[in-house]
Every structure is written in structure tokens, then in C-alpha cells.
Amino acid sequence: MGKRKILVIEDDRAVSGLLVHLIEGQGYDVQAAYDGLEGLGKTKTFGPDLIILDINMPRMDGWQLIETLKSSPKTSSIPVIMCTDRSQMKDIEQSLSLGAAGYIMKPFNTERVISKIAEVLGPR
């Protein structure tokens, strides 16, 4: 079995770069997309085992994207962890009700990101 694949969909390139570097360092195959539409396309071509998704993005926000992913039989089983600076309980509840497997707030703690990925994907 090859490396597990993670897609980071985040419009802030500094945050995206940090996440990609952090996750690659854990032995995952990682790709990045910089808005929801690009993320949707890469989900189809890359076939990730997990998606880390920001909410506030241009062209298609994280909530629109997770709704699209969860409504398609081809992508509905891919777990999604929201990673956002939105800390209101209603934002967390909306994300979870749309099917998110987890929620990480920015600025994030690197250990929390790694442990949440391991929790969602299970042991390698």
C-alpha cells in the first residue's frame, strides 16, 4: 500500500505551505489547492484519503465544497477536517453538520494537526 494522500485546500499560501511541509514530514503524500474550485478538481485527480479544508476562500468556500463532496457518491466517503480562523460555536456546528470529521482552529498547534489527522485516518 502506498502513502496515504492528503489534500490541503487553503487560500493563504503561507498557511498552506506550512501545512504541506508539516504533513509531508509525517510521511504522507500531500498536494495543495488554493480555492474551493481548484480543490474540487484536485479531489477528482489526486484521490485524497483526507482533505484539510479552510472555510473562507474565493470562488467556492469550504462549506460549499464540503456540501458538494458529501453529495457525490465518488467523494462522500473522503473525511474532511476543517481548518479555519472561525471560532464561533455556530461555525463549528455547521461544519460538523455538513459532514466534517474534525475542526482545527487557526492559529493551529502542529501537534493538534498531526493528532487530528491520525485520529481521522486511523493507524497507518
The pLDDT value recorded for residue 62 is 96
Tens-place pLDDT, residues 41-99? 999 999 999 999 999 999 999 999 999 999 999 999 999 999 999 889 999 999 999 99
Model's pTM, two decimal places?
A: 0.95
Q: Contact at 8 Å (CB) between 59 and 15?
A: no
Instruction: Give the pLDDT confidence score for residue 1 in this predicted structure.
Output: 58
- CB distance 86 to 56 below 8 Å: yes
Residue 124's pLDDT is: 66
Long-range contacts (CB closer than 8 Å, 24 or more residues apart) made by 69-76: 69/40, 69/43, 69/99, 70/98, 70/99, 74/44, 75/43, 75/44
Q: Say how far apart CA 61 and CA 10 lie, in whole Å.
A: 10
Residue 15: exposure state from Cβ atoms within 10 A (0-12, 13-18, ≥19): middle
Domains of the chain, start order: 5-121 (3.40.50.2300)
Residue-level length of the chain: 124
* Structure confidence at residue 122 as a pLDDT band (50, 70, 90): confident
Provide the pLDDT confidence category of residue 2 given band limits of 50, 70 and 90.
confident
- Average of per-residue pLDDT values in the chain: 94
pLDDT band at residue 120 under the 50/70/90 scheme: very high
